[in-house]
């Protein structure tokens, strides 16, 4: 990581913005919140101006909204739990896309969202959407 920080510091402002735009898209694809993305860029040594320029470029390139990313991450967590539960529990709904939403699974979703930097309101709203979608 020190080598990357050194190379980043030595890069031109334009290269820094380009790299930050790439990192924003990469972290967003992994489900990171806006707060976590900004934190990672700050750890890299990016100035606030570079981060803002990169953020606008990422938005222009189609960066999904934070709540959309949270819902995607939650659904991915539910789907991965479904594959782990095959044969252990009955599913609800039509059986192909539905899983049983246990308290344990909902805690797993909430924990994963929190780890990715989402605040309480986003976590609560996302859990509510997951409950509605998966039939709780």
pLDDT over 50 (residue 111): yes
Q: Is the dihedral of CA 37, 61, 68, 112 positive or negative?
A: negative
Q: pTM of the prediction?
A: 0.82
> What sections of 30-119 are H helices per DSSP?
34-44, 48-60, 66-85, 103-115
Mean of all residue pLDDT scores within the chain: 88
At 23-36, the pLDDT tens digits run 999 999 999 999 99
pLDDT bin (cut points 50, 70, 90) of residue 91 is very low
2 or 82, which is more confident? 2
C-alpha 3/C-alpha 83 separation (Å) is 39
At 34-90, the pLDDT tens digits run 999 999 999 999 999 999 999 999 999 999 999 999 999 999 999 887 655 544 444
Q: Based on C-alpha coordinates, what's the Rg of the chain?
A: 18
Task: Give the pLDDT score at 102.
Answer: 86
What is the average pLDDT across 77-104?
64
pLDDT over 60 (residue 15): yes
What is the average pLDDT across 104-109?
93
pLDDT bin (cut points 50, 70, 90) of residue 97 is low
What is the average pLDDT across 118-129?
96
């Amino acid at each position: 990581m020190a080598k990357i920080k050194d190379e980043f510091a030595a890069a031109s402002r334009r290269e820094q913005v380009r790299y930050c735009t790439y990192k924003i898209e990469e972290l967003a694809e992994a489900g990171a919140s806006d707060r976590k993305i900004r934190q990672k860029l700050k750890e890299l040594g990016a100035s606030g101006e570079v981060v803002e320029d990169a953020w606008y470029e990422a938005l222009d390139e189609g960066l999904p909204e934070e709540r959309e990313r949270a819902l995607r991450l939650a659904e991915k967590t539910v789907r991965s739990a479904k594959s782990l539960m095959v044969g252990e529990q009955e599913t609800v709904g039509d059986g192909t896309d539905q899983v049983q939403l246990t308290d344990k699974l909902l805690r797993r979703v909430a924990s994963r969202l929190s780890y990715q930097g989402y605040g309480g309101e986003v976590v609560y709203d996302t859990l509510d959407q997951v409950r509605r979608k998966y039939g709780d």
